[in-house]
Structure 1
Amino acid sequence: MNEVEGKVLNMYDKSRPVEEDLFETSHVNQVAWTLAVLFGGLVIWLMIALVNAENQRYALVTKKCADPLFKGEIDQQCLVMVQSRDHWWEHLGYAMTHVRQTALKK
C-alpha cells in the first residue's frame, strides 16, 4: 500500500461513526417524569372536581334547582346538569379565592 492509498484510507477511517456514541443512552430520570405527570393529572382532576362542586354550590345558593312540585326540595337531576355560571373558570376562580370564607361558615 502506497502513501496515497494510506491517506485515503485514513480519511475514510475518520468518517466512521464512533461505536460508543452509536447507541444513545438517555439520562432522563424516568421516575421523576412519571411522578410529575401523575401529579399534574391529579391537579387537573382536582380542579375538575372543584369546578363541579362550586357549580352545584352556586346553583343551590341561587335556587336554580328548586323542585317545582315540592316546595323546599331540590331537583337532583337539575343539580347534575345545571350551568350556574357562564364559564368553568369562573367557578374555579371563585372557589380558589373564597376557600377560607366557606370553611369558616361550618
Structure 2
Amino acid sequence: MSDVEGKILKMYDKSKPDEEHLFDSSNWNHVAWCIVVVLAGLVFWLAIALVNAENQRNALMTKQCADPIFKGEIDRQCLLAVHSREHWWQHLWYGMRHVTPEAPATVGRRR
C-alpha cells in the first residue's frame, strides 16, 4: 500500500460506525414512557368513574330514579341506565369544578 492510500484510508477510518456501541440501548426511556402510559390510563379510568358517579348523583338529586311503587325508595335499575344530563362531559365538568359537597340548605331554620 502506498503512502497516499494509507493517508486516504486513515482519513476515512473515522467515518465508519462504531460497531462496539452501535446497538447499545437504555431502558430508562422505556421505563419513563411506561409510567406515562400507566398514569394516563389511570386518569382515563378515574374520569370514567367520575362521570358515572356524577351521573348517578345528579339523578338522585333531581329525583329522576324515584321508585313508582314504593314512595321514598330508589329504583336501582334506573340508576344503572339513567342519563341525567345531555352529555358525558357535562358530568365531568361539574365533577371537576365541585370538589367539596354542597352545604345543606338552611332555609327556615331559626337560631
TM-score by length of 1: 0.73
CA-atom RMSD in angstroms: 2.6
Q: What number of residue pairs does the alignment pair up?
A: 104
Deviations 1:7-45 (A, max 9, x none): xxxxxx9x9766457647467521111111111111110
> Are 2:93 and 1:93 aligned?
yes
Deviations 1:28-73 (A, max 9, x none): 5211111111111111101100000000000001111011111110
* Cα separation, 2, equivalents of 1:62 and 1:80: 15
User: What is aligned with 2:74?
Assistant: 74
User: What is aligned with 2:40?
Assistant: 40
TM-score by length of 2: 0.70
* Cα separation, 2, equivalents of 1:30 and 1:16: 29
Q: Which moved more, 1:15-24 or 1:79-88?
A: 15-24
The Cα shift of 1:101 comes to: 3.8
Matches within 5 A, 1:1-106: 19-20=19-20, 23=23, 25=25, 29-102=29-102
- Counting aligned pairs with the same residue, the percent is 63
